[in-house]
A = this chain, B = another copy of it.
Amino acid sequence: MAIQIEKFIDEKDDVASMIEWLASFGATESNGVTRLLYSEEWMSAQHAMKAKMEKESLITYFDSVGNMFGRLEGTDSTGETILTGSHIDTVKDGGKYDGAYGVIASFLAVKRLFKAYGQPRKTIEVVSFCEEEGSRFPLTFWGSRNIKGVYGLENVKHLKDTEGISFLEAMKKSGFEPEAYMPPVRDDIDRFVEIHIEQGMVLEKNENTIGVVSHIVGQRRYTVKIIGESNHAGTTPMSYRKDAVSAAAEFISFLTKKAKGMDSDLVATVGRMDVEPNVPNVIAGEVEFSLDIRHHEEVILDRFCKEIFAAFDALAKEADMKMEISQWMDVKPVAMDREMNRLVRKIAEDKNIPYQDMISGAGHDAQVFGSFCPTCLLFVPSKDGVSHSPKEFTSVPDLERGIDVLSEILYKLAY
């Protein structure tokens, strides 16, 4: 894959133009973006952003996994770096804003700060993380977790994408030789600041422009399997049935009521449900469904899970059916930095930008950094809460106010 730098550096640099420009790398027919880790589209986008940064006198470089940095050297000698940015990869046929906005906002903030105030006291680096979504290979945060030092080649050496291409093969093909892998761990990161679209409708419903994230939720995911008995829908009286769909309906009704009643920040979702044999005139013998539970306090997650699984167990016993529950995700909640959040609130107040504190219900690179260095995560509104879709949209005034607040934080931290 050969990258032609020239085509990337003569675009306009207002936020709207940059969003469209970056979305052209991996543009889909439905006006969305597909930019999977180590794909040609991904590679072109990273190189394009690199060229952009170079044009603005940032010192740019890739680390050995493909995270791309644009460095604005500071005047002091502490060696500490303020890191800001987000991820360049997308889901399949995703939107133009998820991840991309954070990379662009950080770049524009640093560009504008440099133009206005010249060299900072502390070094600032803009980062375009190689991977966050987990869309091509079954792992997430490959970029940020390498920087934190919790991931290395051993975590990916057996992974393949859906076409059977191995992780290491894909990495090599896009120019990051696994043989040349050096752990890209950073010990100089003083603060991390990320701005991202909300991917929810809370800001929009409350007519706020900036979300100040206090916590990123913990997530637990499970597969629940109910094993009943498949029988003829006509010849099996109701009292003889072990109908897995009926049992699943009871479970899910209970779950929804409990989730609504326990804590307004708690969310519980059954998004996937597979019925066997899934035929109109046959009583379902098996139902398997996913369970996604999120809250920002581990103690609430513990209590909720304990209560619902006890209830599921009782319901299964009552219905004389078997139940199997397996957990396949357990991500701990992460707190963002209170001091930086105070600073953000002050900035928003001073600028008369409506803001609110909130919880992030989605995962972000900021959660990897949250237990690594003081970290701040900001949100701008998502129209109708839509994300991971070509319909993702944030208005230019909201995008600009986000960059405005981000610039101010970086100024306070680095100048």
Residues of chain A touching chain B, judged by Cβ–Cβ distance below 8 Å, are 198-202, 205, 217, 219, 221, 231-240, 243, 245-246, 248-253, 256, 259-260, 264-275, 277-284, 290, 292, 294, 360-363, 385-388
Contact = CB atoms under 8 A, between A and B. Distances in A.
A205 B231 CA distance: 15
A249 B239 contact: no
Nearest to A251: B249
B238 A259 contact: yes
Contacts of A238: 256, 259-260, 264, 266-268
A392 to B, nearest CB: 11
A233 B292 CA distance: 7
Contact of A248 (B249, B259, B265): B249
Contacts of A267: 233-234, 236-238
21 contacts: A199-B232, A200-B237, A201-B235, A201-B240, A217-B234, A219-B234, A231-B385, A233-B267, A234-B294, A234-B363, A235-B361, A236-B361, A238-B267, A243-B256, A245-B273, A246-B270, A249-B253, A269-B282, A271-B279, A272-B275, A280-B290
Contacts of A235: 198-202, 360-362, 385, 387
A286 to B, nearest CB: 12
B273 A281 contact: no
A271 B248 contact: no
Contacts of A278: 271-274
Given A250-B253, A252-B246, A292 B280 contact: yes
